[in-house]
Amino acid sequence: MATEGAAVRLVLRLAGAGLTATMAAIHLRLWAEGYRDLATIGPLFLLNGIVGILLALALLVTPVRLLGFVAVGTALFTAGTLGALFLSLNATLFGFGESIDAELVRPTLYVETAGVVVLIALAVTAFGHAHRHRDQRTTPSGR
């Protein structure tokens, strides 16, 4: 059973890191293709790309006992990015409005939504592992 849980965590960890890296890559591509010239939005796209890469790497190297915290932080970052996209689609964000028909909007919606779901699942499994591991250390029989 422990091996099964480790396998699930590994799949979620790799998927979460991949989705986070994909989100970062989309933002860096858009920044390079012209968003860099937009006031406020341009630097935010660059920052999103850099932070996204760092979070993807953190998801890969963080020890299991701290993985839940990194997964929650990355899920919140991704949800915030998704919220900013929704805002720019329905109103404006720092004076910038986006169109659902723009080239990478739909893929971004899919990647970020999937990322939030996967990262929440990863956080739940990581915190569950940490809780079970802590309980094993505190029971007299070690079980």
Of residues 131 and 13, the one with the higher pLDDT is: 13
Closest CA to 75 of 122, 28, 141, 135: 122
Half-sphere exposure of 102 (CA within 13 A, CB side): 14
Answer whether residue 143 is part of any domain.
Answer: no
Q: What's the pLDDT at 133?
A: 54
Answer whether residue 100 is part of any domain.
Answer: yes
What confidence tens digit (pLDDT) does each residue in 56-99 have? 999 999 999 999 999 999 999 999 999 999 999 999 888 889 99
What is the Cα–Cα distance from 118 to 8, expressed in whole angstroms?
A: 11
Q: Is the pLDDT of residue 51 over 80?
A: yes
Which residue segment(s) compose the domain that 122 sits in?
2-138
Answer whether residue 56 is part of any domain.
Answer: yes
Answer whether residue 40 is part of any domain.
Answer: yes
Q: Is the pLDDT of residue 8 over 50?
A: yes
Overall domain count for the chain: 1
Answer whether residue 119 is part of any domain.
Answer: yes
Q: What's the pLDDT at 130?
A: 58
DSSP state of 99: -
- Confidence band of 143 (pLDDT split at 50, 70, 90): very low
Contact 111, 59 (CB under 8 A): no
What is the Cα–Cα distance from 80 to 20, expressed in whole angstroms?
A: 13
